[in-house]
Amino acid sequence: MAAPQTSDILRSVIFTPFEYGGRTKAIVERLRNAVALDVFKDGDQLPPEPELAAQLGVSPVTLRDALALLREAGLVETKRGRSGGSFVRRSAYEPVEHGRAQLRELSPVDLRDLSDWRISVAAAAAALAAERASDEEVDVLQVHVDSFANAADAAAARRTEGRLVIALATASQSLRHTRAAVESVVDYGPLLSVAYQSADLRARVAEFHAAAGAAVRDGHAADAAVAIRAAGLLVAVELANYAADLSAEAAK
């Protein structure tokens, strides 16, 4: 049986019901993250409101409020009539500003906790991938490693790293790790648009990705985990420094 595509895996998490019923802001953020991760292309139609509300486990009223905020932001256009519905408008999406807004809402402790979780998930997946990955999965991983190294800008790096992390988790052959990895990509993705503005950071992270890919190929679990952890720590430090600068600006 063919492995599910990255976009399909991301979609399954985006449309997972909120555990305790989602608030309007949480729904907006999840759908905005879906735009950030290219789960939705420009012009894609969202499911009908009753269906989408049921998928997310929220009330139709709460969903309607969230869609209204997305319309105000220009990310969704709603058309009435027979061929109507809500359609994604990617042209209004500003990835760096989205990441900056998310950083402003995270306390230093929350940011560190989110980074620690992301790093732990990816490192554990890398170790298991080194022990379990098939030749085909190793080849797929290498494609993503190379794509990240050739990423021309922050947006390309963000997208490619998400695919790389999911490829690692898929190669770990653990459903729980795969789900956790996808959730980390969804939650952390917007922040990468900020961090990967730095070409120097992208280049340094690419070196660790290459080391991780080689370790997975050679079956060296500890080395794979160390390399992925080192890449994650570089990003975490960059984001912590950026968040501190934002706080300093706000205090002026």
Does pLDDT of 14 surpass 80? no
Tokens of 247: 């706080």
Least confident window among 14-28, 73-87, 106-120, 163-177: 14-28
Instruction: State the residue for tokens 């070196």.
Output: 207
Secondary-structure class of domain 6-93 per CATH? mainly alpha
Q: How far is CA 49 from CA 10, 91, 148, 186, in A?
A: 20, 23, 36, 22
- Confidence band for 1, pLDDT divided at 50, 70 and 90: very low
Domain extents in the chain: 6-93, 96-251
Nearest to 127 by CA among 169, 184, 188, 176: 169
Mean pLDDT of 182-204: 93
Choice between 88 and 231, residue whose per-residue pLDDT is larger: 231
Q: Residues 33, 159, 109, 251: what is their CA dihedral angle, to the nearest 10 degrees?
A: -80
Q: pTM of the prediction?
A: 0.79
Mean pLDDT of 69-94: 84
pLDDT digits (tens, 9 = 90+) for 37-64: 777 888 888 888 899 899 888 888 999 9
Nearest to 191 by CA among 110, 249, 72: 110
| Beta bridge pairs of residue 29 | none
**DSSP secondary-structure letter at 82?**
T
**DSSP secondary-structure letter at 58?**
-
Which CATH fold would you assign to the domain 96-251?
Four Helix Bundle (Hemerythrin (Met), subunit A) (1.20.120)
